[in-house]
Chains A and B, each alone.
Chain A
Amino acid sequence: MDYRIIRERDENRNQKILFFLKHIAFRFNGTLVLAEHTGDKLNPITLSAVSAASKLGEISVLVAGTNVTKIAEQVAKVEQVKRVFIADHEKLKHQLPEYVAKAVETLQKQYKFDHVVAGASTFGRDVLPRVAAQFDASPVTDIIAIHSDDTFSRPTYAGNAICKVKSNAPVKFLTFRGTAFKSAKESGGSGKIEKAPETDFSFDGVEFLSQELLKSERPDLQSAKVVVSGGRAVGSADNFKMIYELADKLKAAVGASRAAVDAGYVSNELQIGQTGKELYIAIGISGAIQHTAGMKDSKVIVAINKDPDAPIFEIADIGLKADLHKAVPELIKAL
């Protein structure tokens, strides 16, 4: 028997396999999801980003910060997560975009992911385009639907037109609207945790000073499934108490129209941005287009207003023409 021929044939086959593997590796380097967290808690929008990303390919997650092992362990258990990178550095403590972007850039240079994605929150919106600039890639932001690995839908004109786009960017930098994708389950995954490559954090143009977050026992407005929202007709900051009371009954977040914020009834963090909820209760809100653009993607909209001609009733699933000062306390009692 001629062993040489066999060896040759063998090598040939090996090369073919190698080529095949390389080809796969070249085409599918997977998706990197940027985890968003507060240092001790994973932000729920990350779970939506993971579930959206699972439509694109194998998922790796980057957890950037200081002392984030616990967060990384939590992320590793999320379904579909294959790999978790920890970038731990003093400069990453407050996750300022300048530094997080550097960590992502280093990781991307080494692993060449096909997609780099995050939730369309302040964090995601801050970081993603900054990194994309380093790769000469046009980002696609605030995606509400994924059609294929390069085709997405996103709202434009404050949600009045839906734009379907195909991205030819060399790397797809994407942000997903949290409420448009269901959350990935927090169990079932067994991601491998490893250290992210060393990054040069010598940039020093920015420094974190302080943060003032609205403390509340209620769910966060961004991630809440139910929102009770008050408008100018609520009348005063004091009257807003009943909005809070109703929200507590429903385990809901409290929101407000721009008019209520401007009138000083609540702080501006509560103003309704673009969002879609399971249940949205609009109280004393007339429904200007800037407001409806923000909430019209909600599954069920309830409106309570004494003006039957208020435009909010045109989009409400259930309308109640009533004086809110009577109807809201009655509703609190009935629930």
Chain B
Amino acid sequence: MRALVAVKRVIDYAIKVRVKPDKTGVVKENVQHSMNPFDEIALEEAVRLKEKQIIKEVVAVSLGPSKSQETLRTALAKGADRAIHVEMEEATAEKIEPLFVAKILRRIAETEKPDLIFLGKQAIDDDCGQTAQLLAGLLNWPQAMYASVVEQESDKTFIVTRQVDGGRESIRIKIPAVISADLRLNEPRYATLPNIMKAKNKPLEKKKPADYGIEIVQQTQILEVTEPPKRKSGGFVEDVPSLVVKLKEMGVV
């Protein structure tokens, strides 16, 4: 079995982003970037399935500017066997919509013929949460979204537990299928120094969107990016009775 894992380079989750004064986006220059946390989990799951000898090969894919190669090297250090980088200008990558990521991933899936495609449930920058579903729709494959447990059942089937509103749901999917990772799926490993060194020699193929016959057409135009309304601290109350008085004054209890 082969797994394809899509990983995205995003601003590190611990960074407090700043909106640019000209309202065109957020400040990305000289800001720590790393692999999207949900993608790390998706990758970890594929690597664990490889360690259980269910999967033979893990292929990591990333779309983006040349710096995305760092993210792919991280993926290789964490256990991916090889990587595909679909390179595009930073300006294009900035505006690329999940639909076009999904279109390129579909083409890659057609040549690589994976049995499972793992993605994070959403990227923490655009917060779209669409790519996995769009890809499953384009391929007409089953989709197991927000997975918290992935278990092989037979040569052709997997049982996936999904985190849904208000609880959990268990489904059986036939391969080939698309799985998106929830935070609960696993605890991703750290890349060790020897593995980081080894990753430098693993194959990394470079491609362009045009290689897949995909023209990137923007359907969603960003008009402006603004700061959310600021909240101000309302200050302290002395004790519980004055808290109750204040709550009643505000009409919320």
Which residues of A are interface residues toward B (Cβ below 8 A)? Answer: 96-98, 101, 121-123, 125-134, 136-142, 151, 154-169, 203-214, 220-222, 226, 250, 268-269, 278-279, 289-290, 296-297, 299-302, 308, 313-322, 327, 330-331, 334-335
Residue of B nearest to A278 (CB): B252
Which of A121, A158, A169, A268 is the one whose CB lies under 8 Å from B220?
A169
Decide if B134 touches A129 in the complex (CB within 8 Å): yes
Decide if B133 touches A129 in the complex (CB within 8 Å): yes
Question: Is the C-beta of B65 less than 8 angstroms from some C-beta in chain A?
Answer: no
Which of B136, B237, B250 is the one whose CB lies under 8 Å from A300?
B250
Closest Cβ of chain B: how far from A24's Cβ, in Å? 25
Closest Cβ of chain A: how far from B207's Cβ, in Å? 22
* Given A159-B228, A207-B172, A214-B167, also A138-B233 (CB < 8 A): no
- Chain B residues contacting A101 (CB-CB under 8 Å) are 137
* Given A142-B129, A207-B172, A313-B233, also A123-B26 (CB < 8 A): no
Q: How many residues of B contact A (CB 8 A)?
A: 75
Decide if A206 touches B142 in the complex (CB within 8 Å): yes
Question: Is the C-beta of B225 less than 8 angstroms from some C-beta in chain A?
Answer: yes
Residue of A nearest to B126 (CB): A156
- Chain B residues contacting A155 (CB-CB under 8 Å) are 127, 228
- Chain B residues contacting A331 (CB-CB under 8 Å) are 240, 243-244
A96, A154, A209 pick with most chain B CB within 10 angstroms: A209
Decide if A151 touches B223 in the complex (CB within 8 Å): yes
Within 212-253 of B, Cβ neighbours of A (below 8 Å) are at 218-228, 231, 233-237, 239-241, 243-244, 246-247, 250, 252-253
Decide if B171 touches A206 in the complex (CB within 8 Å): yes
Report B5-24 CB contacts with A as 1/0, cut-off 8 Å. 00000010110110100000
Q: How many angstroms from the CA of A211 to the CA of B162 in the assembled complex?
A: 9
Report B153-166 CB contacts with A as 1/0, cut-off 8 Å. 00000010011111
Decide if A315 touches B222 in the complex (CB within 8 Å): no
Which 4 interchain pairs have the tightest Cβ spacing?
A133-B137, A213-B167, A205-B142, A317-B234
- Chain A residues contacting B235 (CB-CB under 8 Å) are 318-319
**8 examples of A-B residue contacts, CB within 8 angstroms:** A130-B133, A139-B128, A154-B127, A203-B140, A209-B170, A222-B165, A278-B252, A318-B243
Decide if A161 touches B99 in the complex (CB within 8 Å): no
Closest Cβ of chain A: how far from B33's Cβ, in Å? 13
Decide if B172 touches A130 in the complex (CB within 8 Å): no
Decide if B253 touches A131 in the complex (CB within 8 Å): no
- Chain A residues contacting B240 (CB-CB under 8 Å) are 320, 322, 327, 330-331, 334
- Chain A residues contacting B252 (CB-CB under 8 Å) are 226, 278-279, 299-300
Decide if B170 touches A211 in the complex (CB within 8 Å): yes
Within 172-230 of B, Cβ neighbours of A (below 8 Å) are at 172-174, 177, 184, 218-228
Question: Is the C-beta of B102 less than 8 angstroms from some C-beta in chain A?
Answer: yes
Given contacts A132-B99, A290-B13, 13 further A-B contacts (CB under 8 A): A127-B133, A133-B133, A141-B129, A164-B225, A165-B220, A165-B223, A168-B219, A211-B168, A211-B169, A302-B243, A314-B231, A317-B250, A318-B247
Question: Is the C-beta of B143 less than 8 angstroms from some C-beta in chain A?
Answer: yes
* Given A164-B226, A318-B247, A330-B240, also A142-B174 (CB < 8 A): no
Decide if A139 touches B130 in the complex (CB within 8 Å): yes
Decide if A319 touches B237 in the complex (CB within 8 Å): yes
